[in-house]
Amino acid sequence: MKKIFGYFFIIIINYLLLSFFVFTFSYLSLINNKTYDLLWVKYIQKKLYINGLVKIWQINKNCSKFDKNLLYAPAVGECLFSNPEFITKLNFDRNRRLNMIDDDIGDDENIIAVLGDSIAMGWGVNDDETFSYNLQKLINKKVINLGVSSYGTVREIKRLKLSKFYDQVDTVIIQYHLNDFAENKDLDINKTYSQEEYEKYFKSKENNLNIVIFLLKNYKKSLRLLFSHLNDLFFENDRKEKYNLTEHLDNLEKVINLNLKGEGKRVIVFLINPPHQEIIYEENKKYENFEFMNFKVQKEHLFVIDDHINKTGHRYIGKKLSSYLK
């Protein structure tokens, strides 16, 4: 028994030493903008990133500003936005994210409007790498990108209606996300915001890390991440997160019927379905005022630790939308 306990003790000590080395390597690499798709390292870096090291676009006051109708909106001009896996420049005018190549729109030109959150906006990609611009190039029709990080569908539609291009839009493409549900269910599209609400929102998102406590907490969590990663690798299908879209789409239908019905615009909604999720919905169901698509993306379409699609993913979504429209 003493030998067994001795071996067990040696195994535990070695595991703690190994985990400390892997955690230290993962952290130091991450703060030096290096990410690795390696066993254990990827999961540690992802936890560190999500739990406090990620920079959020709308918290950067060079990128967003107070807006009484939308709480916040993109600041006009260029802003620099970076995280460990990307360094990007985003350019906005009062209505949209620009592609900085072919932004001119004639007064009588029919156009497509893309709505959505940070994915549609183009978190992590440059102006000419968004799926909106990829779509514009493929179909030879102007596409305006109205996506804004963390908006739900209600504010997305409100931003569209406030746009000077609204009457020229004949097709609306909405990039839906599972986290849109709460806003879509509860938010009145006519709500206005105060400066105090804006400041409160930003204060709630401020990241005042005590780095020692942060690292100790995350080191403790990292001890079991090796086993989580192995489980995901060997039992991928069993470990998928399952989401039923029925309530999401029923609620979305109400939002679209209330705000876009009878406006003479074709409305297309799509969801990006990453490999770790299984989306459940009635594939053959027809909706009165919109068309729905579920786009399955692969590992190569995503950043390593950031959950957003990368420029390869944006090209893929642009092609999928182009094929659907054609």
Task: Give pLDDT tens digits for 6-48.
Answer: 777 788 899 899 999 999 999 999 999 999 999 999 999 999 9
130 falls within a domain: yes
Co-location of 253 and 119 in the same domain: yes
pLDDT in tens, 199-251: 998 888 777 788 999 999 999 999 999 888 888 878 777 778 999 999 999 99
Query: Is-contact 289 267, C-beta < 8 A?
Result: yes
Co-location of 253 and 233 in the same domain: no
What is the maximal distance between C-alpha atoms in the chain? 86
Q: Tell me, what's the pLDDT at 267? A: 98
In the chain, the number of structural domains is: 2
Give the pLDDT band of residue 2 (cuts 50, 70, 90): confident
Co-location of 182 and 247 in the same domain: yes
Co-location of 235 and 251 in the same domain: no
223 falls within a domain: yes
| pTM, full prediction | 0.93
Query: Is-contact 136 142, C-beta < 8 A?
Result: yes
Range of the domain at 216: 2-54+202-240
Co-location of 32 and 92 in the same domain: no
Q: How far apart are CA 258 and CA 249, in angstroms?
A: 14
* Closest among 256, 75, 88 to 160, alpha carbons compared: 256
Co-location of 161 and 220 in the same domain: no
Co-location of 11 and 120 in the same domain: no
Co-location of 92 and 233 in the same domain: no
The domain that holds 180 is classified in CATH as 3.40.50.1110
